[in-house]
């Protein structure tokens, strides 16, 4: 099945309304994935990005073509923000041949280098050094492109995180370390997994700026990412951004998260909804009427349904696929 490139609406344009639409696209896709998973159409688990949309969409709005990002085990936001086609992303998460990785990666390893999307990662912290290497490679190639490493508060306790920050700092690499600090490493509260509240403080240990950011407000995210990207592009080195946010759902679909937080706490997140915050702000500025929002939401829902239809029609790969791509072919092996 051949995918005509259907980008999420307005990927390359960055008006506030368009960015709102992109956040909504991420959320609706995640919600649809939960439903598909219940229908047994997603073979593995799904880890919704819901609640954190302002970060992926806001940072991506400050990037340019050729910049690259490394994601984690909750990749839908970063993937869509990088411009991946929702149809092929969905097909990948459904294990179909039409997926970006022919259904062999799933949510933990989906990648698309043509979009600068280095990949999700099933190992917490595993993608951070890879983003550092991409930044190095982009510099060695003589470009002024930058890399972004996304990770959570839990990953900030891995050795990979510390080694990666140190290496990026000492080599002044063009990089943003974006911590999506949702306060939980799966079930373990931040106060129980590290002695600091602000992971931004860890930047100082490596000689790089660290900044606390309201990760639920896309304007704040963009305002923090913009100078960090400029600094990286200018060759002045990496920045650590500690973006405070909330994960509305559990760690994955089967985790209702009530073993480690209360329904009251979960409900409180909704007061900080990045999408509603953005919508209300645009409405107050008379830049988005209620009708226009409904139209936008309707377009996004239609995009999602087309994606579901396309992905569902994408075939399972042939059984011989199992044995393909263990090694890349070459003239020396």
Partner 1 sequence: MSALTFQQALRATHFDLMAEDPRVFIIGEDVGVLGGAFGVTEGLLKRFGPERVRDAPISETAIIGAAIGAALVGMRPICEMQFVDFLFVALDQLLHQAALAHYASGGANALPLVIRANYGVGPGSGPQDSGTLYGALLQFPGLTVLIPSSPAEAACLLRQAVRDPNPVLFLEPRELYRTIDLVPKLPALPMTSARVLRRGDHLTCVAAGSMVRKALAAADRLEAESIAVEVIDLRCVMPLDAATIIDSAARTGRVLVLDEAPRGGGMAAEVVALVAEGASPHRPLARRLTAAPTPVAYAPHLAATTLPDAAAIEAAMRELAREPRP
Residues within the interface to partner 1 (CB under 8 A): 68, 70, 99-105, 109, 111-113, 118-119, 121-123, 126, 128-138, 140-141, 147, 159-160, 163-164, 166-167, 170-171, 324-328, 330-333
CB 105 within 8 A of CB 117: no
Q: How far is the CB of 120 from partner 1 (least distance, A)?
A: 10
Cross-strand bridge partners of residue 148: 69, 176
Q: How far is the CB of 302 from partner 1 (least distance, A)?
A: 28
Of 143 and 191, nearer to partner 1 (C-beta) is 143
Of 28 and 88, nearer to partner 1 (C-beta) is 88
User: Residue 179: phi, psi to the nearest 5?
Assistant: -85, 120
CA distance linking residue 272 with residue 155, whole number of Å: 24
Of 240 and 304, nearer to partner 1 (C-beta) is 240
Q: How far is the CB of 75 from partner 1 (least distance, A)?
A: 13
**Residue 294: left (phi > 0), alpha (psi -120 to 50), or beta?**
alpha
Q: How far is the CB of 143 from partner 1 (least distance, A)?
A: 9
Q: Which among 59, 69, 66, 83 has a CA at the least distance from the CA of 227? A: 59
Of 65 and 159, nearer to partner 1 (C-beta) is 159
Six-digit token pair at 146?
């930058």
Q: How far is the CB of 269 from partner 1 (least distance, A)?
A: 32
Of 102 and 226, nearer to partner 1 (C-beta) is 102
Q: How far is the CB of 59 from partner 1 (least distance, A)?
A: 18
Of 88 and 279, nearer to partner 1 (C-beta) is 88
Q: How far is the CB of 233 from partner 1 (least distance, A)?
A: 16
Burial class of residue 142 in the structure, from the number of CB atoms within 10 Å of its CB (0-12 exposed, 13-18 middle, 19+ buried): exposed
CA distance linking residue 315 with residue 131, whole number of Å: 33
CA distance linking residue 265 with residue 255, whole number of Å: 16
Residue 262 neighbours by CB under 8 Å, 6+ apart: none
Integer angstrom CA distances of residue 172 from 239, 251, 274: 10, 34, 32
CA distance linking residue 220 with residue 78, whole number of Å: 18
Of 54 and 68, nearer to partner 1 (C-beta) is 68
């Amino acid at each position: 099945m051949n995918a005509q490139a259907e980008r999420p609406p307005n990927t390359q344009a960055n008006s506030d309304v368009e960015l709102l639409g992109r956040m909504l696209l991420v959320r609706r896709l995640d919600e649809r994935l939960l439903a598909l998973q219940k229908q047994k159409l997603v073979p593995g688990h799904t880890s919704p990005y819901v609640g954190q949309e302002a970060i992926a969409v806001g940072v991506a709005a400050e990037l340019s073509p050729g910049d690259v990002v490394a994601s984690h085990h909750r990749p839908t936001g970063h993937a869509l923000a990088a411009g991946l086609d929702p149809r092929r992303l969905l097909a990948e998460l459904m294990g179909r041949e039409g997926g970006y990785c022919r259904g062999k990666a799933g949510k933990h390893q989906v990648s698309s280098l043509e979009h600068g999307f280095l990949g999700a990662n099933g190992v917490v912290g595993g993608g951070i050094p890879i983003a550092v290497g991409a930044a190095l490679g982009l510099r060695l190639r003589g470009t002024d492109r930058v890399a972004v490493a996304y990770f959570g508060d839990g990953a900030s306790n891995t050795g990979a995180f510390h080694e990666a920050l140190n290496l990026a700092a000492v080599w002044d690499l063009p990089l943003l370390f974006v911590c999506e600090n949702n306060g939980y490493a799966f079930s373990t509260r931040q106060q129980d997994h590290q002695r600091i509240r602000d992971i931004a403080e860890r930047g100082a240990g490596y000689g790089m700026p660290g900044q606390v950011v309201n990760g639920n407000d896309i304007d704040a995210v963009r305002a923090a990412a913009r100078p960090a990207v400029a600094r990286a592009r200018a060759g002045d080195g990496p920045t650590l951004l500690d973006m405070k946010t909330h994960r509305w759902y559990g760690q994955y679909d089967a985790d209702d998260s009530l073993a480690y937080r209360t329904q009251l706490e979960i409900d409180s997140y909704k007061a900080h909804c990045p999408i509603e915050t953005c919508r209300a702000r645009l409405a107050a500025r008379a830049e988005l009427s209620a009708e226009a929002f409904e139209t936008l939401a309707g377009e996004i829902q239609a995009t999602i349904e087309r994606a579901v239809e396309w992905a569902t029609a994408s075939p399972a790969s042939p059984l011989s696929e199992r044995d393909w791509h263990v090694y890349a072919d070459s003239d020396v092996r």
